[in-house]
């Protein structure tokens, strides 16, 4: 006999009678999730909030299933308590506040209209006004939360922007003839035609297709990360697979190309080229005691290849091309090519590759080399070599394992194996004829028991060498006994650093993966701002000679290097946020420099950074630098092997960003590493995940900091999000600063080239790219018209790929542009 509906039941529609138990059951499941997860978190010493939230949600679900209006009362008390707890834990920081409240306030808004129905079913007055009033209040809160998702949250500069004035003369108005614009790596174009007021009028001037579409599903294959060169009316490009192309800089019309086919498939890229003009007078150093620049070697054909382009190939060669026609310079090396694997011993690609542009230093062209990380204890050495720009004859070598010997090894011998290497771009100071280079580490980053005293000396340092002789002038170490892959990842930038007494000192500044900025005297290598030796905890790996202190540059802002705590854990919803908090509590984390061990150790920032190879840009007029960073944590788990491993990885750098167990060849361990992500594939710590920061060198403080990039083109489980939410995403390239008061940037996860006001950080223009970019913008002027150029081959972690080089300029009819 079926149960007859009660009088209360008759007051509620059949749909509601069926739907409420279903909703209540979902609420009960949600409550059980928080109850169980909260219990796990408490067991790991975490917050009690989630367990209490689980109890409240379970009670709400049960009462909803019973069709009791008290369900909403319980939920409303829980929601108010959640809001108070959220403000107590994170203050009014938007993104952390949003993830704690928004999901529950949406649920509350949807539940409130059910209250009159439930009360009517209980024989009570419906209280429609109160219920809808609460719903309306929550709706207003939710609209505010949604609005806030599409507004940049950061620190902005003063709205009153100073006038654009050049106090540095014609600085930055020459050709873009080196990787970082100047040999000093400033990435500053002093042209003022494009400025804050007219940048909105920029349009595509021309588009060029290289014909080389990079494919890299995991970030370890082929990627376009180039910055072109511009000399006179010609733009010089290099594609990921090492095709050099010359195009007309004003029209994008191809002049010539020269391809260098290889069979390499791992870590394929060309970040830039180098240029030398033998027809120009040599610049000799002006600093007292400097070694002169060698005269141009005219032993070959003095009329051949007077203007040269140099490129490192991915399979370990240095090539020299005639800049006028693209033909190999026959009098350089072996008919235009030098085999850089000579003297290295076993050094097949991709274990030894070249991923940064060569550096022309006077009449010496200098190369380092990438030695794949965490493959084996027996790897090629990280020797740096200088070759004559005309003949290709080796002038010197700097072997970190034998720093006093500058000659090539005798027959049957090799340069010292497995030494620290220089894979990032170098910087040249013509005033002292000095090369400044960022060094990496010995072959295995995560296990340092077998490192030599010289490995320890030169690892993760800035190394200054005489460009003519290769003799060391000084070195400065940024990490002691590096076990984190914290090699110095970028080109140092030469600056005139303002001291407290008003004087300016010739200096260099470099950023690190740890979010540190070191300012060093160019002549001595001594820090010009305060650096302290910070005590750090050690691990338990047998015989590991841990360093008990690490350098911290506390005299300059530290970017994205704060010590994480529970409150910093984040998620799109409280559901994945709870998972991140549980994961965080399940790892060992001692702040920056948490030593890897056989447990699960969290490194933040991880080995991707922090800052990376894109480098800094420097505005000498404003005395400002501009830094982009990414904030990605990485957990590391060393696994003791039953016997010493002889297996190795293939040298793919994708292993540093998510992988299974990888053997550390020749060591007692293998390693598992992965990004510190939520189950949704989102970083577990609060946003931003990438930012652009302006630093005033005079005050040594942050002038502004804004999130960089949106989730518009981000894919979760293959589905594009399409939301232009400026949360700030990881970045990989570098910035361009101009005399027009602008900072251009493109290497975000979404497909845009952006311009920011260099004084305030306000985004003043953006252009949609056909695919994402990993390149650094550059700028030049031809016939009175300023161009902004970007190479776009596809963003990291994106399936959309292309072969675009795009130039932007103001319309020809714009005031101040020369017409033809």
15 or 126, which is more confident: 126
What is residue 300's predicted lDDT score, i.e. its pLDDT?
73
Residue 444 and residue 372: Cα distance in Å, rounded?
Answer: 9
pLDDT tens digits, 265-311: 888 999 999 999 999 999 999 999 999 999 998 777 777 899 999 99
Q: Which two tokens stand for residue 340?
A: 């850089």
**Mean pLDDT of the chain, nearest integer:** 92
Please give the helix or strand (H or E) that residue 128 lies within, else none.
helix 128-148
What is residue 820's predicted lDDT score, i.e. its pLDDT?
44
Tell me the pairing of strands 493-498 and 504-511.
antiparallel
* Residues with catalytic function: 485
Say what percent of the chain tops pLDDT 90: 81
Lowest-pLDDT range of 57-71, 161-175, 659-673: 161-175
Q: Is the pLDDT of residue 388 over 70?
A: yes
What is residue 306's predicted lDDT score, i.e. its pLDDT?
93
Residue 212 and residue 240: Cα distance in Å, rounded?
Answer: 7
Strands, E assignment, 728-777: 736-738, 742-745, 752-757, 763-768
DSSP reduced 3-state for 56:
helix
What is residue 7's predicted lDDT score, i.e. its pLDDT?
52
Q: Is the pLDDT of residue 18 over 90?
A: no
What is residue 82's predicted lDDT score, i.e. its pLDDT?
98
Q: Is the pLDDT of residue 424 over 80?
A: yes
Tell me the pairing of strands 736-738 and 188-189.
parallel
What b/e string do you get for 389-414 counting C-beta neighbours within 10 Å, with b at 16 or more?
Answer: bbbbebbbbbbbbbbeebebbeeeeb
Q: Is the pLDDT of residue 669 over 60?
A: yes
663 or 493, which is more confident: 493
Residue 456 and residue 319: Cα distance in Å, rounded?
Answer: 33
What is residue 217's predicted lDDT score, i.e. its pLDDT?
65
pLDDT tens digits, 448-466: 999 999 999 999 999 999 9
- The confidence band for 380, taking pLDDT boundaries of 50, 70 and 90, is very high
Range 767-784 average pLDDT: 97
Range 513-540 average pLDDT: 97
pTM score: 0.95
Q: Is the pLDDT of residue 655 over 70?
A: no
Residue 563 and residue 688: Cα distance in Å, rounded?
Answer: 15
Range 390-401 average pLDDT: 97
DSSP reduced 3-state for 72:
helix
What is residue 643's predicted lDDT score, i.e. its pLDDT?
65
Locate the domains of the chain by residue range: 7-148
- The confidence band for 158, taking pLDDT boundaries of 50, 70 and 90, is confident
Closest of 571, 573, 633, 577 to residue 47, by C-alpha: 577
Q: Is the pLDDT of residue 540 over 90?
A: yes
Q: Is the pLDDT of residue 40 over 80?
A: yes
Lowest-pLDDT range of 39-43, 263-267, 690-694: 263-267
Range 661-665 average pLDDT: 82
What is residue 10's predicted lDDT score, i.e. its pLDDT?
55
Range 152-180 average pLDDT: 76
- The confidence band for 797, taking pLDDT boundaries of 50, 70 and 90, is confident
Distance between terminal CA atoms of the chain? Answer: 95
- The confidence band for 1, taking pLDDT boundaries of 50, 70 and 90, is very low
Which residues make beta-bridge pairs with 518? 510
Is the distance from CB of 78 to CB of 45 less than 8 angstroms?
A: no
Residue 405 and residue 415: Cα distance in Å, rounded?
Answer: 10
- The confidence band for 167, taking pLDDT boundaries of 50, 70 and 90, is very low
What is residue 164's predicted lDDT score, i.e. its pLDDT?
60
Closest of 427, 425, 431 to residue 505, by C-alpha: 431
The DSSP line for 670-701 is EEEEEE-B-TTSSBSBPSPSEEEEEEETTTTE
Lowest-pLDDT range of 240-244, 261-265, 414-418: 261-265
Q: Is the pLDDT of residue 817 over 80?
A: no
DSSP reduced 3-state for 766:
strand
Q: Which two tokens stand for residue 163?
A: 């006038």
Residue 686 and residue 631: Cα distance in Å, rounded?
Answer: 10
What is residue 645's predicted lDDT score, i.e. its pLDDT?
53
Residue 75 and residue 114: Cα distance in Å, rounded?
Answer: 13
Q: What separation in angstroms does the CA of 271 have from each of 323, 351, 424, 623, 797? A: 18, 18, 10, 27, 18
pLDDT tens digits, 55-86: 999 999 999 999 999 999 999 999 999 999 99
Residue 111 and residue 467: Cα distance in Å, rounded?
Answer: 72
Lowest-pLDDT range of 340-349, 722-731, 811-820: 811-820
What b/e string do you get for 565-575 counting C-beta neighbours within 10 Å, with b at 16 or more?
Answer: eebbbbbbbbb
Residue 64 and residue 72: Cα distance in Å, rounded?
Answer: 8
């Amino acid at each position: 006999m079926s149960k007859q509906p009660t009088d209360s039941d008759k007051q509620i529609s059949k749909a509601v009678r069926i739907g409420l138990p279903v909703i209540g059951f979902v609420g009960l499941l949600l409550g059980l999730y928080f109850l169980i997860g909260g219990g796990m978190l408490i067991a790991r010493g975490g917050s009690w909030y989630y367990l209490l939230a689980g109890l409240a949600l379970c009670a709400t679900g049960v009462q909803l299933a019973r069709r009791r209006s008290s369900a909403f009362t319980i939920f409303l008390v829980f929601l108010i308590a959640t809001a108070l707890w959220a403000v107590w834990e994170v203050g009014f920081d938007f993104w952390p506040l949003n993830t704690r409240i928004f999901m529950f306030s949406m649920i509350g808004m949807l539940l409130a209209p059910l209250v009159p129905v439930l009360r009517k079913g209980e024989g009570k007055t419906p209280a429609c006004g109160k219920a809808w009033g609460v719903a309306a209040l929550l709706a207003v809160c939710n609209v505010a939360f949604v609005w806030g998702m599409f507004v940049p949250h950061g620190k902005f500069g003063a709205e009153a922007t100073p006038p654009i004035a050049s106090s540095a003369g014609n600085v930055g108005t020459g050709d873009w003839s080196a990787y970082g614009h100047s040999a000093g790596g400033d990435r500053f174009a002093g042209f003022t035609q494009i400025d804050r007021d007219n940048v909105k009028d920029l349009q595509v001037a021309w588009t060029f297709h290289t014909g080389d579409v990079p494919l890299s599903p995991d970030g370890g294959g082929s990627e376009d990360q180039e910055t072109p060169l511009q000399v006179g009316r010609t733009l010089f490009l290099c594609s990921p697979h090492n095709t050099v192309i010359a195009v007309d800089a004003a029209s994008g019309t191809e002049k010539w190309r020269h391809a260098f086919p290889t069979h390499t498939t791992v870590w394929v890229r060309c970040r830039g080229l180098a240029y030398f003009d033998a027809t120009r007078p040599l610049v000799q150093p002006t600093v007292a005691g400097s070694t002169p620049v060698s005269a141009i070697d005219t032993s070959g054909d003095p009329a051949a290849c007077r203007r040269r382009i140099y490129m490192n190939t991915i399979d370990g060669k240095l090539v020299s091309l005639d800049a006028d026609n693209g033909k190999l310079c026959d009098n350089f090396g072996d008919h235009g090519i030098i085999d850089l694997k000579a003297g290295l011993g076993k050094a097949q690609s991709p274990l030894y590759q070249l991923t940064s542009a060569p550096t022309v230093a006077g009449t010496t062209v200098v190369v380092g080399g990438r030695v794949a990380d965490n493959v084996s204890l027996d790897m090629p050495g990280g020797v740096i070599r200088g070759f004559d720009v005309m003949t290709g004859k080796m002038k010197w070598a700097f072997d970190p394992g034998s720093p006093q010997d500058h000659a090539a090894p005798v027959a049957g011998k090799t340069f010292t194996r497995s030494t620290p290497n220089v894979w990032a771009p170098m910087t040249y100071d013509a005033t002292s004829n000095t090369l400044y280079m960022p060094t990496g580490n010995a072959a295995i980053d995560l296990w340092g028991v077998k490192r030599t005293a010289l490995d320890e000396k030169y690892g993760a340092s800035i190394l200054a060498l005489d460009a003519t002789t290769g003799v060391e002038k000084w070195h400065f170490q940024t990490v002691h006994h590096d076990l984190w892959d914290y090699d110095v990842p970028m080109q140092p930038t030469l600056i005139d650093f303002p001291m407290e007494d008003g004087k300016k000192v010739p200096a260099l500044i470099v950023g690190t993966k740890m979010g540190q900025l070191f300012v060093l005297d160019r002549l001595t290598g001594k820090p010009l701002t305060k650096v302290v030796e910070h005590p750090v905890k050690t691990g338990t790996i047998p015989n590991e000679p841990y360093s008990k202190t690490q350098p911290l540059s506390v005299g300059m802002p530290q970017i994205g290097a704060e010590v994480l705590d529970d409150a910093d854990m984040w998620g799109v919803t409280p559901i994945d946020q709870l998972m991140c908090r549980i994961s965080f509590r399940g790892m060992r984390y001692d702040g920056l420099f948490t030593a890897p061990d056989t447990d699960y150790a969290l490194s933040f920032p991880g080995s991707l950074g922090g800052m990376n190879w894109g480098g800094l840009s420097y505005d000498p007029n404003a005395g400002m630098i501009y830094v982009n960073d990414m904030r990605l944590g990485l957990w590391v788990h060393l696994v003791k092997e039953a016997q010493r491993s002889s297996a190795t990885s293939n040298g793919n750098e994708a292993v540093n960003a998510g992988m299974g167990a990888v053997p550390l060849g020749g060591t007692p361990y293998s390693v598992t590493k992965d990004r510190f992500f939520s189950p949704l594939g989102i970083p577990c710590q609060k946003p931003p995940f990438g930012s652009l920061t302006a630093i005033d060198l005079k005050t040594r403080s942050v002038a502004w900091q804004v999130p960089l990039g949106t989730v518009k083109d981000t894919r979760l489980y293959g589905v594009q999000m399409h939301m232009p939410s400026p949360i700030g995403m990881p970045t990989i390239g570098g910035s361009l600063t101009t005399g027009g008061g602008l900072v251009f940037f493109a290497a975000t996860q979404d497909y845009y080239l952006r311009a920011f006001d260099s004084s305030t950080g306000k985004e003043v223009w953006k252009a949609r790219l056909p695919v994402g970019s990993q390149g650094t913008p550059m700028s030049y002027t031809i016939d009175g018209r300023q161009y902004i150029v970007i190479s776009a081959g596809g963003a990291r972690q994106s399936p959309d790929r292309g072969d675009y080089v795009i130039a932007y300029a103001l319309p020809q009819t714009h005031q101040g542009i020369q017409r033809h």
